Amino acid sequence: MTAVSTPDVLLVTCRALPEGEPGAAVLDEALAARGITASWVAWDDDAVDWAGSLVAVRAAWDYDARREEFLAWARSVPRLLNSAAIFAWNTDKAYLAALAEAGAPVVPTYVVEGAAVVKPRVGAGGRGVQVLDSVVVQPLVESIRTEGEYSVYVLGGEVVSMAVKRPAAGEIRVHEQYGGRTVALPVTEEAAAVARSAVRAAEQLLGERLDYARVDQLRLADGTLAVSELEVTEPGLYLEEIPGNGPAFAALVAALLGR
């Protein structure tokens, strides 16, 4: 019987995306070019042996409905890019307020603990009243409709790429499923500086190095850029729009493997 070899790296996805994130072939090819073997596996697949490989979370995009289960899994993984502690911090959006307190430029963020009643300022008969549990509240940054949201990738401590995400008409969400589109851009020093500031603040708060980060940014009314999200759990690499992210991520993996 032929022994089954253990992959050098396990690329973690979810059951809805068994072949990995969009553009996964770009990353597969970049890893193979460095002689690194890889497999895409779902984080909740009990048949996977997590002990023998470096583990990189790439498209575990169902964690939000099962956060505690996801974090328990992460804590069980011996060799994980970014850590379970980083995931626990990053999967609660209250981290944005902590980043701001640590000195990073962040879209103003207000954390509401526990249940909150949200009402229209002008209303009657209970119309429009909602009860929400543990939310963060931010002002609507109008530039999302015109300029869009920037994403800057920091891999292995280096700024490597940038894109802009623009929503469909009438939307503020930039995600593809809501009609948003992503376009690669040259990295600007302004956006790179904000990204470095966010990563530095997060590392100081956590006492850990971030292996990878995607720093999403919006332009405020005063003309400056501010962090809208710091994605350090499962940020999409936009491999179809920024194919260079494949070799850059492969280089990070190679460095961590000592290749």
pLDDT in single tens digits along all 259 residues of the chain: 344 579 999 999 999 999 999 999 999 999 999 999 999 999 999 999 999 999 999 999 999 999 999 999 999 999 999 999 999 999 999 999 999 999 999 999 999 998 888 888 888 888 888 998 889 999 999 999 999 999 999 999 999 999 999 999 999 999 988 898 999 999 999 999 999 999 999 999 999 999 999 999 999 999 999 999 999 999 999 999 999 999 999 999 999 999 8
Alpha-carbon distance values, 156 to 17, 174, 188, 253 (Å): 26, 26, 19, 9
Residue 102 and residue 122 in contact, taking contact as beta carbons nearer than 8 Å: no
Residue 65 and residue 41 in contact, taking contact as beta carbons nearer than 8 Å: no
* Beta strand pairing call for 54-57 and 9-13: parallel
Q: Give the model's pLDDT for residue 4.
A: 52
CB atoms within 10 A of CB 200: 16
**CA pair distance 254, 4, nearest whole angstrom:** 22
Instruction: Tell me whether residue 156 is exposed, middle or buried, using C-beta atoms within 10 angstroms of its C-beta: 0 to 12, 13 to 18, 19 or more.
Output: middle
Q: Give the model's pLDDT for residue 3.
A: 44
Which backbone phi and psi does 158 adopt, to 5 degrees?
-115, 135
Query: H or E stretch including 164?
Result: strand 158-166
Q: Give the model's pLDDT for residue 5.
A: 78
Q: Which pairs with CB-CB distance under 8 Å and at least 24 residues apart come from 46-50?
A: 48/10, 49/6, 50/10, 50/76, 50/77, 50/78
Its pTM surpasses 0.75 = yes
Q: What is the DSSP letter of 118?
A: E
What is the CA angle 89-70-176, rounded to 5? Answer: 80
In the chain, the domains with their CATH numbers are 9-90 (3.40.50), 95-106+141-257 (3.30.470.20)
DSSP state string for 12-77? EE-TT-TT-STTHHHHHHHHHHTT--EEEEETT-TT---TTSEEEE---TTGGGGHHHHHHHHHH-
Residue 225 and residue 105 in contact, taking contact as beta carbons nearer than 8 Å: yes
**CA pair distance 37, 2, nearest whole angstrom:** 17
Instruction: Tell me whether residue 124 is exposed, middle or buried, using C-beta atoms within 10 angstroms of its C-beta: 0 to 12, 13 to 18, 19 or more.
Output: exposed
